Structure formats: C-alpha cells, structure tokens
Amino acid sequence: MTLDVGPCDPWPVRWVCDVSAESPSATGIAVASATRILWALTGRQFGTCTTTIRPCRSDCYDSWPYAGYDLWSAPTTYGYGYLDFTGLYWYPLGCGGCSSGGCSCSVVSEARLPDAVSSVVQVKVDGSPLVTGAYRVDDNRLLVRTDGGQWPRCNDLSKNDTQVGTWSVTAAYGQEVPEPGQLAVGELACEILKAMRGEDCRLPAGVTQLVRQGVTISVPDFGDILMHGRTGLYLCDMFIMSENPKHLRQRARVYNVNAPTHRRAGT
C-alpha cells in the first residue's frame, strides 16, 4: 500500500493577478493550497519528488526460466554454465548484463528504477558520485552504465550510501507541471487570496441565486461543481478537463510482484 502524502513541492505559478502588495506568507499559502487541489483533480500526476533509492541491478536471468531455478551449474570463464531441461546443452550466462534490445548484440549493465524519472540528480557507487557521462536513462526508467563498468551486484543496506559496498540513485520522479497547469495554479491562487482577505471572489460559497435591484443571478451549485471534478474557474477547468477528462483519482499502475524491490533511503 502506497501512502498518499500529496505533492512534494508547490507547483510553479504564473500569476493572472497583481500580487505585488501581498506578503510572501499569504502567496505561499495560496499557491500551496491551489497546488494540492489541482494535483488531486488532475489525477495526482503532475509535480516532481526527489528521492534517493538503493537499487538492484538487472540480470538476464532475473526472470523465467532462470530466476530461482535450482540448476546444475559450475563457474566458467563466461559466468555460469547451466544445463537445459533435457540435460543436453550448456548456456553461458554472463552476470549483470542484458542485451540492449532485440536487434543488438551488445550487452549493457542496467538497473530498472521503480518509476519514470524526470531527471537523475546523482549516482553514487562506493560512496563516490559518478560523473554524469558514466550513465544514461533509457525508456525514462532504465539506468544504463555507459563507461564500460558494471553496476554492483550487491548493495549493503546496513551502511549509508557514503560507504564502500553501497550504491544509490537520487532522482526526480514525476511529470513536470506544464504551462497550462502553472496558469491554473495562478488563477486559483488569486481567488484563494481574495477569500483570505474576506473579499468577493469567483469561488461561490454555496450561493445558487442572488437578487439585486430586481435582477436575479443564478450561480451553479459549488458542491455539484466539485463532485464533477471542477472548480468553476475557466483556466483551471480547461486544464483539468484536458488532462483528466475521466475524473480519475490517480493514474493507473502495474505492479510486478516478482520484480526486485527498491529501498528508499531514510524513509
């Protein structure tokens, strides 16, 4: 079960009102509130979180028919040789590398990260950061070694990642907030600021009809608007409907219960 802790940071904001006279405290509260509301209404898919994990490298025999299979084996110069099911053939299986695609004869050392990354901040091996050119990210989540080295087979989780025998990956996970989302935050935050000052704003407080000087104005029920995953604000609702038209609570996920686990450091 994944604990829902909300967005890690306030979204970038493009203001659609003048906030030059507002205090940083007030604008901070308004942006944080607008961020969480829009994050939830768009299916919890935008915003990045930076975290450090202690991964395991991928091996060619991490899956059937080799994973966990008790075969007769003996060390060879190529790794380990295994008898097949008939007992007639030996397969030289290298450790720690996989073919880089079906059309390639090369072997790469890679580690599968737990989710798609926006960027890799730092990779440490034996407590020392690797230079950026020593690795790359494929398919948004495969960390590939490009300097000719191998990712360590073992990761001593009893030690901090500043020590020998460990390795770690610090990365920003999630999707960057697009510009329409930054405008939506600005629009909603502006209305929240008005409400904080006790002024009239475009967020109706449950009023559906207003009569002034003989003129009746009908306003949509704010409760009904929220039940349909909207705010009643033009820029906000345009962004929400374009990014989450089915009103999903969160994006779909696929879990492989047989895949190696990843430990988040310090959590």
266: confidence class by pLDDT, cuts 50, 70, 90: low
Report how far apart, in Å, the C-alpha atoms of 135 and of each of 27, 151, 243 are: 40, 10, 32
Query: Within 13 Å of residue 113, how many CA atoms lie on the same side as its CB?
Result: 26
For the chain, list the strands marked E by DSSP.
47-54, 73-76, 79-83, 90-93, 98-99, 107-108, 110-112, 117-125, 128-129, 135-138, 142-145, 167-175, 209-212, 215-218, 263-264
Neighbouring C-beta atoms of residue 211, cutoff 10 Å: 8
Map tokens 């009103």 to a residue.
247
Average pLDDT of the chain, as a whole number: 78
Tens digits of per-residue pLDDT, 188-226?
999 999 999 988 766 555 555 556 667 765 655 555 555
169 or 260, which is more confident: 169
Asked if pLDDT for residue 72 goes beyond 50, the answer is: no
Residue 231: the pLDDT is 86
The two three-digit tokens of residue 48, written as one number: 């990045």
Q: Whole-angstrom Cα distance, residue 49 to residue 9?
A: 8
Residue 179: the pLDDT is 97
Residue 39, SS3?
helix
Neighbouring C-beta atoms of residue 238, cutoff 10 Å: 15
Residue 105: the pLDDT is 66
Residue 84: the pLDDT is 44
For the chain, the domains span 1-46+177-267, 51-172
pTM greater than 0.85 (yes/no): no
User: Which amino acid is residue 108, in one-letter code?
Assistant: V
Residue 82: the pLDDT is 43
The two three-digit tokens of residue 205, written as one number: 């407080």
What distance lies between CA 211 and its chain's CA centroid?
48
Neighbouring C-beta atoms of residue 168, cutoff 10 Å: 20
User: Which amino acid is residue 235, in one-letter code?
Assistant: L
Nearest Cα neighbor of 53 from 267, 257, 263 is: 263
Q: Whole-angstrom Cα distance, residue 27 to residue 58?
A: 46
Backbone angles phi, psi at 34, to 5 degrees: -65, -35
Map tokens 């349909």 to a residue.
228
* Torsion of the alpha carbons at 98, 104, 105 and 106, rounded to the nearest 10: -60
Residue 1: the pLDDT is 39
User: Which amino acid is residue 25, in one-letter code?
Assistant: S
Work out the angle at residue 67's Cα, subtended by the Cα atoms of residues 64 and 71, and round it to the nearest 5 degrees.
Answer: 100
